[in-house]
Amino acid sequence: RKEVEQDPGPFNVPEGATVAFNCTYSNSASQSFFWYRQDCRKEPKLLMSVYSSGNEDGRFTAQLNRASQYISLLIRDSKLSDSATYLCVVRNNNDMRFGAGTRLTVKP
Amino acid sequence: NAGVTQTPKFQVLKTGQSMTLQCAQDMNHEYMSWYRQDPGMGLRLIHYSVGAGITDQGEVPNGYNVSRSTTEDFPLRLLSAAPSQTSVYFCASRDGQNVGYTFGSGTRLTVV
């Protein structure tokens, strides 16, 4: 079993839609959690950290459920520019593990 | 600030050749790591460093060496290239335990 698992998608949604991505992790001692986005043939870029109380940044909302070892990302009012691959990341001490990513395509 | 700089951007090697991928950061970050990214597998940690003079192995260290003589530089050496090392390599740095990584733009390596 992979340490960090994501639905690979692809998710194809129309502009303005709300879309949610899920991620599960296997190490219950994991300490920090993040979402990254990666555009085609580019480096990953930090989208947001994920806190236990949940957190929001504009149209993006991240949730963490430690009991279920589950992380989510909600994107509201999708834009064409949101098309990318979204990576779930979990830190265990000095080791950061990445999920394989969920691909999102937002269509006009 | 330049952030994390990787060179070269592209490289083709013959099986058995050796080379060094360069990585430098100008943000005075303590933590630096090397990842490789292969289709469908996500990023996998090769080696990491928590400060100058300190390195450790990640998930897939075989065939690679690293050193960290300064805070700024963290080169990755391929000892004897193999086709299985064809991949995109990313260097990353971060400042502290609870912050995310900043990535370099990557090196696309092909071993023939």
Give the pLDDT mean for A65-90: 96
Measured CB to CB, residues of chain B less than 8 Å from chain A are: 31, 33, 35, 40-45, 48, 50, 56, 58-59, 90, 97-106
When the pLDDT of each residue in chain A is averaged and rounded to a whole number, the result is 94
Check residue A92 and give its pLDDT: 86
Contact A99 B100 (CB under 8 A): no
pLDDT digits over B15-74, tens only? 999 999 999 999 999 999 999 999 877 899 999 999 999 999 999 999 999 999 999 999
Angle at CA of residue A79, ends A74 and A84, nearest 5°:
70
Contact A49 B97 (CB under 8 A): no
Residues 6+ apart with CB under 8 A from B69: B52, B53
Check residue B6 and give its pLDDT: 98
Contact B101 A91 (CB under 8 A): no
Contact A44 B43 (CB under 8 A): yes
Q: Residue B105: pLDDT above 70? A: yes
- Cβ contact A36:A87 at 8 Å: yes
- Cβ contact A29:A38 at 8 Å: no
Could you tell me which chain B residue has the CA closest to the CA of A90?
Answer: B100
pLDDT class of B1 with cuts at 50, 70, 90: low
pLDDT class of B80 with cuts at 50, 70, 90: very high
Give the pLDDT mean for A18-25: 96
